[in-house]
Amino acid sequence: MLHRLVRAVSLAVSLGLVAAGLAPLAAHGPTPQRAEETITIAASPDQVWKLVADFGSIGEWNPLVTKVALTGGSAAGAERVLTLAKGEITEGLDEVDAPAHRVSYRLLKENTEAIPVSFYTATIEVTPAGAGSAVRWDARFYRADTTNEPPEELNDAAAIAAMTDFIRQGLEGLKAKATAK
């Protein structure tokens, strides 16, 4: 079963002046957003953790990732370049907590064409659930255009939709991979 928990701020269109457009697009705007999804998988936590802990394996189970170039293995400090439908992004591995079955990573090089966010951190955690596992994938991020009046394709709603989709498809793919006969 897939739970969705997306924090959506009020998306009311504000009536203020059009932003002067001088703020750097790359800045991490002050209004963070979050997407969090959990999936249960009929496979042992150890089996699922093997996939999650292998930082370069995401291309094998997230259908939105067509190619992965990994440097530094699966230890903190490792980097992976993910090829998505509309371009590449680079992620860095921050922490691997093997006893807790938890990895934390972040976006190092944004590409708002590929995914409309300017920055994120994310954590994937595998816990026992009944005879199988529960996997929680959680991301905190900023919209692609952090100025006051972002265009629709670069606003908070676009960022939430894209991150939620990436996580949801990733979890479904992880489930399929972990339970494949």
Partner 1 sequence: MTRRARRPAGWPRAATLALIAALLLPAASVQAGPQAGPVVAVVSQQAGVVTLIDADAAAVLAEIAVPRVPAGIAASPDGRTLYVTHPDPGLVSRIDVAGRRLEASFRVGREPFGIAVIEEGRALLVTDWAGDALIRVDATTGRETGRATTGRSPAGIVVDAAGHAYVADRESQQVSVIDIAAMTRTATIATGRAPFALALSPDDERLYVANVQSGDLSVIATATRVETARVKVGLMPYGVAAMPDGRAILVANQQGGNVAILDAASNSVIARTRLGDYPEGIVALDSRRAAMASWAGDAVEILDIAGARGTDHIAVGAGPRGLVVLSAPGGDRPGFEVVRP
Site residues, partner 1 (CB under 8 A) = 7, 9-10, 12, 14, 16, 19-20, 22-24, 27-32, 34, 36, 94-95, 104, 106, 121, 123, 138, 140, 147-148
Nearer to partner 1, 31 or 66 (CB): 31
Q: How far is the CB of 113 from partner 1 (least distance, A)?
A: 22
Nearer to partner 1, 133 or 147 (CB): 147
Q: How far is the CB of 5 from partner 1 (least distance, A)?
A: 10
> Which residues 6+ apart lie within 8 Å of 10 measured at CB?
none
Instruction: Determine the Cα–Cα distance for residues 166 and 155; give it in Å rounded to an integer.
Output: 17
Nearer to partner 1, 61 or 110 (CB): 110
C-alpha distances in Å from residue 111, one per residue of 6, 18, 51, 141: 22, 24, 26, 14
Q: How far is the CB of 32 from partner 1 (least distance, A)?
A: 7
3-state SS assignment for residue 61: helix
Read off the tokens for 156. 């908070």
Q: How far is the CB of 171 from partner 1 (least distance, A)?
A: 18
Instruction: Determine the Cα–Cα distance for residues 62 and 80; give it in Å rounded to an integer.
Output: 14
Nearer to partner 1, 54 or 149 (CB): 149
Q: Quick one: 131 exposed, middle or buried, by C-beta within 10 A (0-12, 13-18, 19+)?
A: exposed
